[in-house]
Amino acid sequence: MSALSSHVLEEIKELPAKYPQPRSAVMPALDLAQEELGHLTPEAMSEVAAALELDPGYVEGVATFYSLFHLAPTGKHRFYVCTNLSCALRGADEIVERVRKQIGVGSSDQVSPDGLFSYEEVECLGACEYAPMMRLDHRYYYDLTAEKVDALVAERRSSSPLTPTLSPEGERERRSSSPLTPALSPEGERGKKPRAPRKKKADG
Amino acid sequence: MPDVNLTIDGKKLTVPAGTLIVEAAKTIGIEIPVFCYHHKLDPVGACRLCLVDFSPGPPRPQTACTTPVSEGMVVRTQSAMAVQARADILEFELANHPLDCPVCDKGGECPLQDFTFRHGYPTSRIDGPRLHFKKPIPLSDKIALDRERCVLCYRCTRYYDEVAWEQELTTDERGVQSFITSQFDRPLQSIFSGNIIDLCPVGALTSRVWRFESRPWDMSHSETICSRCSVGCSVTQWQRRGQLVRVTSRENDDIDEGWICDRGRFDYTDVNDPSRVRTPTIAGRKSTWADAISLVAARIKGRGAKLGISLAQDVTNEEAFLFRRLLDGPLKGAKVKMHGRTAIPAPAAPTMRIREIDDARVIIVVASDIENDVPIIDLRVKKAVSKRGAKLIVVYPEGVDLDRHPHTVHIRNAKGAAAAEVRKLAAHDLLTDPGGPVAILFGDGHGSEDMNELAAACGALAEQVGGKEMPLYRATNERGALAAGVAGWDKLDGVEAILSWGPPPTAGIPRSAKFIAAWDHLPRPGYESAVVLPAATFAERQGSYTNVEGTVQFLRPPIPVQPPLKEGWELLCELGAALGLKLDYPGIFPIQRELASKVPALASLAQPPSPDPAPPPVLVGPAHP
Amino acid sequence: MAELRGSSGDAPNHILTRWFGTPDLHTLDVYEAKAGGYKALRKALLDMSPAEITGEVKTSGLRGRGGAGFATGTKWGFINRDAPGPKYVVVNADESEPGTSKDRYILENSPHMLVEGILIAAYAVGANQAWVYIRGEYDEPSRMLTEAIEEARAKGYAGPKPMGKDYPLDIRLYRGHGAYICGEETALLESLEGKRAQPRSRPPFPAVKGAWGRPTLLNNVETLATVPWIINNGGAAYAKLGTDKSPGTRLMSVSGNVRKPGVYEVELGQTFRHVIMELAGGVPEGRNLKVFWPGGSSAPVLPASMLDTKTDMESLAAARSMGGSGGVIVMDDTHCIVKAAHRLLQFYAYESCGKCTPCRIGGDWAVRTYERILAGEGSQVELDTLIRVSDGLQNGRCLCGLGDSAGWVIDSTIRHFREEYEDHALRHECNVGKVPAIA
């Protein structure tokens, strides 16, 4: 019983041919594995290594180097709150406190009891003019306040689709271009995999 | 390219172009301390310990290990900045380093100790907690890792990646949290793992076989040759109180370039086994040499083909010669079987030398898994491919470790069909215009190939593509035994009595046969009624081996043979006398001279062993800045 | 609709940001129709020779906008266009320098401007394939850039015969996965090769042996995004702006304790007073400006008294600082400099790759020393340790600039705010708020 689905393993096996040298496929491959499983287990890393014909040790060394690869469970939603200088000067520490309180964990190596949340204090995310800010579910959220944090947590807890009023600032609503069509998607790039539709709330 | 003239610390010198500053300094006895730099690994400039000033050059200090010399360069290793930089870096290295010297096996031969004494600050400014790791970590049953002592020079992981082409040893995390680990904490599997012990400049990687055993100054050592396979790597064997306590590598650029495999490094503890046989016994009862030898003679005399002689793979040239004389005389007709032999016939002409692999443009490896058969040659092939751009073709039924290189061409032949594949190779893309010498290494597929066919095919290919051949004999002294004519391949069918020279064979013994005599260092099942003559092990016996390429190398045992043990050649002479054959050699040298005169392949035995290598120069740095 | 925070619209110094804010500027159609997009690429491919293109960039005097400020045209000239075998353009979109968000600003507002610049650069240096190394956290900018590249391919501006020219050009993305060190050229190349991102010893330089062992041109996003304007208007026109040695304009992200944080396009030579007090609105009511980092956290700090320092590289060098990434972080007098320095050292220690001894050990040692000081356990010994560590991190001791930057944080904050450090270390007190305001 392998950790990764055959679909993901197939994709990984096709990666090395897309780069001038096969080892470059390691990072995108780990990315695919982490997307599927939520975090990287030793089994997943071994399977990635086997699919790329590399030693697991090599893959392990790469995976542990980069901050975005997680080797422990992270829950479904991970709050990456920037606490570097520009955000710290605008109250990032309080935002971290609020997140901790709302998701119910004491430190960044914990996952909330309902398995939904974890957080991490991260370094500069490159959006300093919107400080304090954070990254959540592959999006940036700006000009954070305690209220906004509360709303973001509540929204995910209820697992209802995002309502317009709670759309995060910086959301590119004004963008009108269509999503990538498969025929044009550059192979191996992120963005070509369709997102799974959000579950609708049972009692509407 | 012409040589380069430069000045280091006011001294003028001339060195070949491309020499790194750190190596140039060594030639005039100036020590520039290094951790991450190792002359067999690609330089990285990671530890920053070798910072020097040089002009013309950038205003900031540069690492001497990554900078080649240039004409007219003026290097200062003792400028205020360089002296302080080195002391600062050493202080940084010591900031988290545990105060383990009293219990650390590296003490006494530790570059960190030596460099701190010679280049570091005389007092410590470090207080406050150090970074801690769980320790020691068993990387395998032979190697222990201490992460607190590790200075993260990355020599071990770089060696694994560059030289051995494996990544089971890796670095996890980053920054000060980095640590060395085996993949997923599994034990190291590689046959090349032990070299990291020699590479490690501190006590982070230590031998578990030699753990807490002795201090360097308590041991005496001898520069000798490994007995575990046909490559014949140079090793240093260390003894203390008559025990062989460790084996380390010794650089011989013609053969091993300073690497040894784990068999050679760790498989020596049988020498110290308390149950070693030390006196002759007859059916388990202690006896005298005289009685034992005469009984052996009586038992093996006149048996003809009913006598089987099993020869250990490390029978020396001298012993082999004496066996030849016995087999030509009183033991005529006996069947001889040599352990671990390949089916490759004796070479018809001089064969390729190991160092010639370096210059090959295409390397072809046939019918051999060289990683396990001749490990250090495997490393040499890897070096030629990854560092010198050689192309690699493998003809073998199964996957081998050489497949790790993305450009290895692997032709999977059906067992027994290697010769047919070799005959097709001359037309291969890579061989139509190799651009230089071609190296053809061939084994016997562990008996699955017809060696006459394969040898002929390889010979033909060599002619067609401008290649040189290296038949991959496997047994330690297979070539020496072949030259002396005792590398038997006989089946032991019909044999009633077996004389075992060295450990007995594990297979191929007919049920009817009995061990009547053995020259061995350990008791074995099957010896119950035999005459057992105590053997001198590889760490004690004198003699020579002929390695896979035909080079004769002399053993220099660290432990002299003490009575009641006898040298093998000595015993054979006495046995000969008991059998009525006068083998009258007062010492080993006369045997060697006679052997040299009779067997052209062993002519170099006439030369006395080369003198002990000159001790490395003591490099001097300041006592402290 | 998310608001644009920063420069946009018509102004003499709005070279890059002139059209920002135009609806759908990120689409190829609008970029072409409204912003004169892809005229430069057409001119470069069809009317100019590669040497002429590089010549214009040299004439412009454009300097790298990533941090090092190396002359861009000179860098392009290092690539031997005629050497056999593939060459690459690698775009450093790893933007992780604290206080810096200008590349993101470009990617979200006008990704085509970058695409056009990359294609021109690739043609000029003899590369057919460009790789954009973009930090993994930039999900949205990655998507937008990917779309822009797709549109360019669909329109035939990239591909086997871009604009009909028989010279294949393509751009691919490679995502980073969270490591500031990947902003360093050679560490980025290691990461691109699928390894742990540890910088390489130089020489050899990337122009000789870069990505996958091939000659490589590495440039920052903003640097390449400036190229279309230079080709359209000529290098001489660019050189007219700014100062002699630092021509042109640059995007400066202003953040921290300012009323109007944003990414502002500034003509080099303007003062920081203009940038911080006028463009960014100064510090909040009732507070005083205390200190600012002129070029990301890696640039040595300048106190409020040096607000009139000019933004060009030479003026900053004379002030013992540097232009760096152009990320201006402003701190007012309600914040403690020792705590700020501590936080930054935590950043450097966390991001240290661990390859070289001084950065690996020194960063962590400094953090622990700051902790002791801030916990009221400090003394002269701790201050001396900080200075000793700072010395050990600078002047060629480290393999790359990360270590130097960590050293500069300690060095410059102690130099300008010694008393505050001594308050903490020797007197075990924090007197934030008592630093004199600017005149």
Mind listing the pLDDT tens digit for each residue in B391-405?
999 999 999 999 999
Q: Which of C438, C105, C102, C131 is nearest to C303 (CA)?
A: C438
Q: Which of residues 160-199 of A touch B (CB under 8 A)?
A: none
**From the CB of residue C410, how many other CB atoms can be counted at a distance below 10 Å?**
28
Q: Which of B208, B179, B242, B259 is nearest to B105 (CA)?
A: B208
Out of C194, C343, C353, whose CB is closest to A88?
C343
**How far, in Å, CA of C53 to CA of C40, rounded?**
10
DSSP C348-392: HHHH--S-SHHHHHHHHHHHHHHHHHHTT---HHHHHHHHHHHHH
SS3 state of residue B409: strand
pLDDT band for B620, please (50, 70, 90 cuts). Answer: very low
Characterize the bridge pairing of strands B234-240 and B220-225.
Answer: antiparallel
Chain length of chain C: 439
What DSSP element (H or E) covers C316?
helix C313-318
Structure tokens at B442: 């061939």
DSSP category for residue A188: T
pLDDT band for B617, please (50, 70, 90 cuts). Answer: low
Is some CB atom of chain B closer than 8 A to the CB atom of A14? no
CA atoms within 13 A on the CB side of B401: 24
User: What would the pLDDT profile of A185-195 be if each residue is shown by its tens digit?
Assistant: 233 233 333 33
Q: Which of residues 535-594 of B touch C (CB under 8 A)?
A: none
CB A52 within 8 A of CB A31: no
The pTM of this model reads 0.92
Q: Which of B142, B255, B251, B231 is nearest to B191 (CA)?
A: B142
Characterize the bridge pairing of strands C249-256 and C327-332.
Answer: parallel
Q: Which of residues 69-128 of B touch C (CB under 8 A)?
A: 81, 85, 88-89, 91-93, 95-96, 125, 127-128
Residues of A in contact with B172 (CB under 8 A): 60-61, 64-65
DSSP B291-313: HHHHHHHHHHTT-GGGEEEEE-T
User: What would the pLDDT profile of B431-482 be if each residue is shown by its tens digit?
Assistant: 999 999 999 999 999 888 999 999 999 999 999 998 999 999 999 999 999 9
The pLDDT score that the predictor gives to residue A2 is 87
Characterize the bridge pairing of strands B335-338 and B362-366.
Answer: unpaired
DSSP B532-574: EEEPP-TTT--EEEE-TTS-EEEE--SS---TT---HHHHHHH
Please give the residue of chain B at the shortest CA–CA distance from C359. Answer: B175
Interface touch B62/C396, C-beta < 8 Å? yes
**How far, in Å, CA of B64 to CA of B53, rounded?**
9
Q: Which of B596, B479, B609 is nearest to B546 (CA)?
A: B479
Out of A21, A54, A56, whose CB is closest to B184?
A56
User: Judging by beta carbons within 10 Å of its beta carbon (0-12, 13-18, 19+), is residue A66 exposed, middle or buried?
Assistant: buried
Min Cα–Cα distance to chain A from B139, Å: 13
Min Cα–Cα distance to chain B from C379, Å: 13
Interface touch B63/C351, C-beta < 8 Å? no
Amino acid occupying residue C252: M
Amino acid occupying residue C233: N
Residues of B in contact with A41 (CB under 8 A): none
| Mean pLDDT for chain B overall | 92
Whether B347 has a pLDDT exceeding 60, the answer reads yes
Out of A22, A57, A65, whose CB is closest to B406?
A22
Whether B410 has a pLDDT exceeding 80, the answer reads yes
Interface touch B168/A22, C-beta < 8 Å? no
Structure tokens at B471: 């038949």
Characterize the bridge pairing of strands B514-520 and B497-501.
Answer: parallel
Interface touch A55/B172, C-beta < 8 Å? no
| Mean pLDDT for chain A overall | 82
**How far, in Å, CA of B70 to CA of B18, rounded?**
8
Residues of A in contact with B181 (CB under 8 A): 60
Q: Which of B321, B294, B293, B297 is nearest to B307 (CA)?
A: B297
pLDDT band for B600, please (50, 70, 90 cuts). Answer: confident
Neighbours of chain A (3+ CB pairs under 8 A): B, C
CB C312 within 8 A of CB C271: no
CB B53 within 8 A of CB B75: yes
Out of A23, A126, A185, whose CB is closest to C95?
A126
pLDDT means over runs of 10, chain C (439 residues):
85 96 96 97 97 97 95 96 94 97 97 98 98 97 98 97 97 97 97 97 93 97 98 97 97 98 97 98 95 97 98 97 97 96 98 97 96 95 95 93 97 97 95 58
Out of A128, A174, A185, whose CB is closest to C253?
A128
Interface touch C361/B85, C-beta < 8 Å? no
Min Cα–Cα distance to chain A from B181, Å: 9
Looking at residues B79-94, what average pLDDT do you find? 92
Backbone angles phi, psi at B354, to 5 degrees: -60, -40
Instruction: Report ipTM (2 d.p.).
Output: 0.94
Neighbours of chain B (3+ CB pairs under 8 A): A, C
DSSP A48-79: HHHHHT--HHHHHHHHHHSTT--SS---SEEE
CB C306 within 8 A of CB C321: no
Bridge partners of C174?
Answer: C133
Sheet holding B11-15, edge to edge: B11-15, B4-8, B74-76, B51-55, B62-63
Residues of B in contact with A44 (CB under 8 A): none
Interface touch B175/C364, C-beta < 8 Å? yes
- How many whole angstroms from its chain centre is CA B615? 20
**How far, in Å, CA of B61 to CA of B55, rounded?**
10
Please give the residue of chain C at the shortest CA–CA distance from B49. Answer: C357
SS3 state of residue C413: helix
The pLDDT score that the predictor gives to residue B408 is 95
Is some CB atom of chain A closer than 8 A to the CB atom of B164? no
Interface touch C256/A135, C-beta < 8 Å? no
Please give the residue of chain A at the shortest CA–CA distance from C175. Answer: A28
Residues of B in contact with C201 (CB under 8 A): 43-45, 63, 66
Is some CB atom of chain A closer than 8 A to the CB atom of B407? no
The strand ranges marked E within B324-383 are: 335-338, 362-366
Interface touch A60/B169, C-beta < 8 Å? no
Interface touch B125/C388, C-beta < 8 Å? yes
User: What would the pLDDT profile of B149-192 be if each residue is shown by its tens digit?
Assistant: 999 999 999 999 999 999 999 999 999 999 999 999 999 999 99
Q: In the B/C pair of chains, how many CB contacts fall below 8 A?
A: 98
Backbone angles phi, psi at C174, to 5 degrees: -135, 120
The pLDDT score that the predictor gives to residue C322 is 96
DSSP B7-66: EETTEEEEE-TT-BHHHHHHHTTB----SS--TTS-----S-TTEEEEESS-SS-EETTT
CB B621 within 8 A of CB B119: yes
Backbone angles phi, psi at B451, to 5 degrees: -70, -30
pLDDT band for B616, please (50, 70, 90 cuts). Answer: low
Structure tokens at B17: 């172009």
CB B165 within 8 A of CB B385: no
What DSSP element (H or E) covers B80?
helix B80-95
Which residue pairs from C414-421 have beta carbons closer than 8 angstroms and sit at least 24 positions apart in sequence? C414/C383, C414/C386, C414/C387, C414/C390, C416/C291, C416/C301, C416/C302, C416/C303, C417/C291, C417/C303, C417/C337, C417/C338, C420/C336, C420/C337, C420/C338, C421/C337, C421/C338, C421/C373, C421/C383, C421/C386
Residue of C355, C386, C388 to mutate for B, most B C-beta atoms under 10 A? C355
Residues of A in contact with B184 (CB under 8 A): 42, 45-46, 56-57, 60
Q: Which of B235, B233, B211 is nearest to B221 (CA)?
A: B235
Interface touch B175/C354, C-beta < 8 Å? yes
The pLDDT score that the predictor gives to residue C2 is 64
Residue of B48, B50, B91, B160 to mutate for C, most C C-beta atoms under 10 A? B48
Looking at residues B411-426, what average pLDDT do you find? 93
Vertex B167 angle, CA B163 and B171, to 5°: 110
First to last CA, chain A: 37
**How far, in Å, CA of A32 to CA of A38, rounded?**
10
User: What would the pLDDT profile of A14-55 be if each residue is shown by its tens digit?
Assistant: 999 999 999 999 999 999 999 999 999 999 999 999 999 999
The pLDDT score that the predictor gives to residue A163 is 42
Structure tokens at B341: 């032999």
pLDDT band for B123, please (50, 70, 90 cuts). Answer: confident
Residues of B in contact with C370 (CB under 8 A): none
What DSSP element (H or E) covers B206?
strand B205-207
